[in-house]
């Protein structure tokens, strides 16, 4: 099948009307395992060509139906929202399983993976201890009070116990081999002490071997030299570790051109809300990235499967002479016969980028909605490019400026793109390389 024939068939399929029978694309916009005492607005981001309805259940019991997206004031994202109240839902204190089913107007449905929260109507689950740490004035044999702080981050987390809060004085801390437990139930928060600016708290990453640490408004960094290939924060062992980075700043202190660096390593289920990633090779690859800024990187801002990336800004992707060739806003590349799937980019803007925009191969059940990408300078080597399988993928309100978009075929040295159930609505691009896109339904050529 030739390149033009493939495109023509896709054009006919898209123009032929309501044959789109693929299931909705949907993901939770919630960090799991949070303790909930009052009303907590649970959100699902979902898309389908014909519209979506989301049914929410609590421990298997139907509780709420959201027929249209609204702005969730908890997240700032347009979502299908369920105001979960553990009291009204008559939840006993402890773990609660929330389920959600996204159904299109045509009847196609998708059951999201279950979400676990903790009903805590009385505010008495887990530790409520508040402890203090000072790397200069502290003593690990002290009581961990404000007047008698401990010295190390590890001792602070130990004394806070499962679910407590660790207050950090200005200074530098090490995260490596904390070893307080891999199967903790609740989030333990690590944040600046009252009156301390978060930029004055420097936490050097590593392998903490500790589960469910929530870092809030601190610097998380690594010193990665030119010959290294390391992550700032690494999980390990049989059980994946959970970590939450809330309004944190993550970076390589040696700069983006030094070594190959990234925020997260193996066996880490990470969640990023707010904050900034900079001066690394690759941006955060994790379950959730929301209201986050990625800047001054050399490789991919986002990549991989099973990710919601919402309300994010990207700036200055540039290989910068580092030898990295995969400079790209989002990259979906995987070895055959596997697939990259369950990815949503929603409200993502990128500018001043000397890189490719969107790159995909064997991508399915994904959506790119309200995505804008602008290059700093036009380069014929930088292309938005898709090849091989493309199954149930939505492109809606996507604007790519300063580079061409190519649907790959053998003419370009790769296997033909094989589109199925691809929806392109209000997609603007400088040029579709080597083809006339006027026949595509829902595409307007810039």
Dump the DSSP string for 137-157: T--TTS--SSSS-BS-HHHHH
Task: Say whether pLDDT at 25 is over 60.
Answer: yes
Of 17-21, 167-171, 255-259, 325-329, which range is least confident?
Answer: 17-21
List pLDDT tens digits, range 270-327: 999 999 999 999 999 999 999 999 999 999 999 999 999 999 999 999 986 665 555 8
Give the model's confidence band at 414: pLDDT under 50 very low, under 70 low, under 90 confident, else very high: low
Which residue from 335, 339, 280 is spatially nearest to 305, judged by alpha carbons? 339
Neighbours of 443 (CB within 10 A): 20
Task: Say whether pLDDT at 194 is over 50.
Answer: yes
- Residue 14 has what pLDDT? 43
Which residue from 282, 286, 287 is spatially nearest to 259, judged by alpha carbons? 282
Task: Say whether pLDDT at 38 is over 50.
Answer: yes
Looking at every residue in the chain, the average pLDDT score rounds to 89
Give the model's confidence band at 221: pLDDT under 50 very low, under 70 low, under 90 confident, else very high: very high
Question: At which residue do the structure tokens 């999980």 appear?
Answer: 235
Of 136-145, 203-212, 243-252, which range is least confident?
Answer: 203-212
Question: At which residue do the structure tokens 């839902």 appear?
Answer: 89
Percent with pLDDT over 70 in the chain: 88
Task: Say whether pLDDT at 21 is over 80.
Answer: no
C-alpha of 113 from chain center:
16
Dump the DSSP string for 246-280: ES-EEEETT-TTSSEEEEE-TTEEEEEESSEEEEE
Burial degree of 62 (CB within 10 A; 0-12, 13-18, 19+): exposed
pTM over 0.85? The answer is yes
Mean pLDDT confidence for 80-100: 97
Give the model's confidence band at 415: pLDDT under 50 very low, under 70 low, under 90 confident, else very high: low
Which CATH architecture does the domain made up of 26-116 adopt? Sandwich (2.60)
Residue 188 host element (H or E)? strand 188-192
Question: At which residue do the structure tokens 């900034």 appear?
Answer: 276
- Residue 77 has what pLDDT? 98
**DSSP strand E in 9-127: where?**
25-28, 35-36, 40-47, 52-58, 61-66, 70-72, 77-84, 94-104, 109-111, 115-119
């Amino acid at each position: 099948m030739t390149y033009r024939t493939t495109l023509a068939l896709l054009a006919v399929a898209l123009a032929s009307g309501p044959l789109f029978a693929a299931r909705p694309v949907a993901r939770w916009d919630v960090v799991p395992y949070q303790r909930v005492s009052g009303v907590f607005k649970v959100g699902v981001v979902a898309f389908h060509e014909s519209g979506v309805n989301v049914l929410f259940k609590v421990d298997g019991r139907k509780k709420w139906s959201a027929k249209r997206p609204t702005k969730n004031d908890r997240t700032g994202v347009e979502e299908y929202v369920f105001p979960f109240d553990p009291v009204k839902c008559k939840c006993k204190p402890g773990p609660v399983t929330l389920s959600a089913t996204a159904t299109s107007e045509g009847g196609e449905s998708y059951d999201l993976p279950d979400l676990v929260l903790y009903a805590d109507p009385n505010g008495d689950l887990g530790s409520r201890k508040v402890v203090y740490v000072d790397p200069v004035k502290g003593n690990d044999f002290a009581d961990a009070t404000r007047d008698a702080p401990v010295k190390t981050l590890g001792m602070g987390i130990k004394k806070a116990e499962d679910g407590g809060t660790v207050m950090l004085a200005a200074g530098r801390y090490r995260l490596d081999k904390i070893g307080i437990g891999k199967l903790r139930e609740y989030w333990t928060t690590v944040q600046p002490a009252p009156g301390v600016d978060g930029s004055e708290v420097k936490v050097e990453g590593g392998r903490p071997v500790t589960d469910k640490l929530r870092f809030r408004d601190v610097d998380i960094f690594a010193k990665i030299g030119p010959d290294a290939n390391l992550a700032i924060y690494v999980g390990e062992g049989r059980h994946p570790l959970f970590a939450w980075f809330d309004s944190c700043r993550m970076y390589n202190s040696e700069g983006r051109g030094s070594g190959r660096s990234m925020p997260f390593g193996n066996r880490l289920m990470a969640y990023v809300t707010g904050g900034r990633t900079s001066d690394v090779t690759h941006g955060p690859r994790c379950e959730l990235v929301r209201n986050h800024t990625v800047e001054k990187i050399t490789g991919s801002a986002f990549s991989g499967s099973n990710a919601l990336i919402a309300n994010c800004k990207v700036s200055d992707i540039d290989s910068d002479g580092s030898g990295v060739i995969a400079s790209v806003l989002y990259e979906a590349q995987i070895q055959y016969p596997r697939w990259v799937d369950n990815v949503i980019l929603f409200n993502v803007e990128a500018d001043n980028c000397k890189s490719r925009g969107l790159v995909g191969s064997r991508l399915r059940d994904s959506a790119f909605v309200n995505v804008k990408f602008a290059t700093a300078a036009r380069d014929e080597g930088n292309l938005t490019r898709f090849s091989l399988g493309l199954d149930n993928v939505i492109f809606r309100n996507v604007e790519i400026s300063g580079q061409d978009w190519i649907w790959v075929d053998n003419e370009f040295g790769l296997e033909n793109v094989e589109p199925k159930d691809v929806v392109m609505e209000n997609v603007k691009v400088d040029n579709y390389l080597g083809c006339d896109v006027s026949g595509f339904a829902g595409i307007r050529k810039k």
